Amino acid sequence: MVKAIVGANWGDEGKGKITDMLAEESDIIVRFQGGSNAGHTIINDYGKFALHILPSGVFYDHTTSIIGNGVALNIRNLIDEIDALVKQGVPQPKILVSDRAQILMPYHILFDQYEEERLGGKSFGSTKSGIAPFYSDKYAKIGFQVNELFGDEAELKEKVYRVLETKNVLVEHLYHKAPIDPEEIFNELLEYREMIRPFVCDVSVYLHDAIRDGKKILLEGQLGSLKDTDFGIYPMVTSSSTLASYGAIGAGIPCYEIKDIVTVVKAYSSAVGAGEFVSEIFGDEADELRRRGGDGGEFGATTGRPRRMGWFDAVASRYGCRIQGATEVALTVLDVLGYLDELPICVGYEIDGQVTRDFPTTSQLKKAKPVYKVLPGWKTEIRGIKKYEDLPEACRNYIEFIEKELEVPITMVSNGPGRHEIIYRESSLCK
């Protein structure tokens, strides 16, 4: 059975924790898109980790972790991340890398940095990890697949020189930087070849056989619905599809094999980078939520940047669940909100004097003002509670109000950052 774990919001919803938790009863975990530009924070028996490219189920000795063909593969980052885990006492993980995955090249990072510098105040808020240049090259058909490392060296070298001939025109005449040496890039690819050699396989065949044998497979997405290239807050989005539908492509399996889509929804809102954010809050109110949020403050796991904060946005979250095709929801970081007297929930957007419950395109989103429904807080600590019925009534009311707005059953409620700080619940929507 194949289950996808994806985000409904702007990313940072807690997908890493949910993946790490569900991986305990799974066989294979697949990263299917994105690269090292975002981190999944995980707290388990081995400690606290921020994974950037490895799947979040990598901590179990019975699992196989896969880098799918849809990933922007930074080979050095992958090897460094594996080594760092082992040094911290994690057993040597079993890793497979798709021979069709494309390599994030050193010049992709340079181009990302150069372009953000050139744009100045109109930049996209990139993590400068090379993601947009990588995917641009992939679809311009001038990227490098892993399997090319093991082909004819002369052909590989010729391609490097050919690609950099046009790249260097931009480097010198648009960005006014020193040209990139193709010989250095070629030699780096030869180093990559030896680094990645032990992990390479035909992942689509491997997964085909695993599905046939009844293995339990998790597809782990990066970021969330609102950062999807097509359906997010374009152009302030990532450069790959963050949707569960793409999981089939990015892993190399038939779309009909995805039977369950666990969509992770944050109990309040946060976002890193630029873009429209209707329920955003500011000042002391935002600082307090940021300080208390997450597992040690709301700061980007990759960049360390303070996240923008906001109240729960039912309009954006319902839309995020819909385009993911959510079959169930995991509601996370609920424990953070116990200090509040009241909990505003954005239930609509006012645009040009009209209120809508539907998430609009970016041009309309820029004009949107939040319409709030305010619920009472529960003013108590809920960490340590194991049963849903033991939660304070106001807390249960908050969950059930959100579930009604999402129109998807909330089956899991996270009330702490640890692996097993989770409450399972039966939803009336499942009956």
Reported as a single tens digit per residue, the pLDDT across 394-412 is 999 999 999 999 999 999 9
Res. 300: pLDDT tops 80:
no
Confidence of residue 294 (pLDDT cuts 50, 70, 90): confident
Catalytically annotated residue among 40, 52, 112, 313 = 40
Identify the pLDDT of residue 121: 63
Q: Please give the pLDDT value at position 124.
A: 64
pLDDT at 122: 66
- Residue 75 scores a pLDDT above 80: yes
Q: Quote the mean pLDDT of the chain.
A: 93
User: Helix (H, G, I), strand (E, B), or coil: what is residue 407?
Assistant: coil
User: Going by DSSP bridges, is the β-strand pair 258-266/328-332 parallel, antiparallel, or unpaired?
Assistant: parallel
Can you say whether residue 296 is alpha, beta or left, with left for phi > 0 and alpha for psi between -120 and 50 degrees? left
Tell whether the model's pLDDT for residue 140 goes beyond 80. Answer: yes
Would you state the pLDDT for residue 216?
98
Q: Percent of the chain scored above 90 by pLDDT?
A: 84
**How much is the average pLDDT of 27-40?**
88
pLDDT over 80 (residue 119): no
| pLDDT number for residue 125 | 63
CB 44 within 8 A of CB 421: no
Q: What is the pLDDT of residue 123?
A: 63
For the segment 183-206, the average pLDDT, to the nearest whole number, is 98
* 428 half-sphere exposure, CB direction, 13 A CA radius: 5
| Token pair listed for 147 | 């399997």
Phi/psi class of residue 275: alpha, beta or left (left: φ > 0; alpha: ψ in -120 to 50)?
Answer: left
Strands (E), 214-257: 217-224
Task: Examine the pLDDT at 4 and tell me if it is beyond 60.
Answer: yes
**What's the pLDDT at 267?**
97
b/e map 228-245, b = 16+ CB within 10 Å: bbebbbeebbbbbbbbbb
pLDDT bin (cut points 50, 70, 90) of residue 296 is: confident
Position 41 scores a pLDDT of 80
> Percent of the chain scored above 70 by pLDDT?
97
The pLDDT value given to residue 301: 62
CA distance 44 to 46: 5
User: For residue 42, what pLDDT is reported?
Assistant: 82
Residue 173 known to be catalytic = no
- Please name the residues in contact with 282: beta carbons below 8 A apart, sequence gap of 6 or more: none
Residue 47 is predicted with a pLDDT of 85
- What would the pLDDT profile of 239-269 be if each residue is shown by its tens digit? 999 999 999 999 999 999 999 999 999 999 9
Instruction: Output 357 or 294, whichever has higher pLDDT.
Output: 357
pLDDT of residue 431 exceeding 60? no
pLDDT of residue 68: 97
pLDDT for residue 314: 98
108 among known catalytic residues? no
DSSP annotation of 145 reads B
pLDDT at 126 over 70: no
- Give me the residues paired with residue 369 across strands: 350
Average pLDDT over residues 101-107: 97
pLDDT (average), residues 198-202 = 98
Res 207 pLDDT > 90 = yes
Q: What is the pLDDT of residue 82?
A: 95
Q: Name the pLDDT band for 70 (thresholds 50, 70, 90).
A: very high
pLDDT of residue 116: 84
Residue 249 buriedness (CB in 10 A; 0-12 / 13-18 / 19+): middle
List the single range of 56-60, 138-142, 382-386, 427-431 with lowest mean pLDDT.
427-431
Q: What's the whole-model pTM score?
A: 0.93
What is the spatial distance between Cα 33 and Cα 4, in angstroms, rounded to a whole number?
12
Quick one: which of 68, 66, 63 has its CA closest to 91?
A: 63
Cis peptide before 235 (omega within 30 of 0): yes
Which is catalytic among the residues 12, 137, 228, 335?
12
Strand partners, 376: 342
Burial 392-422 (b: 16+ CB within 10 A, else e): beebbebbebbbebbebbbbbbbbbbbbebb
Give the span between the Cα atoms of 66 and 229, in whole angstroms.
23
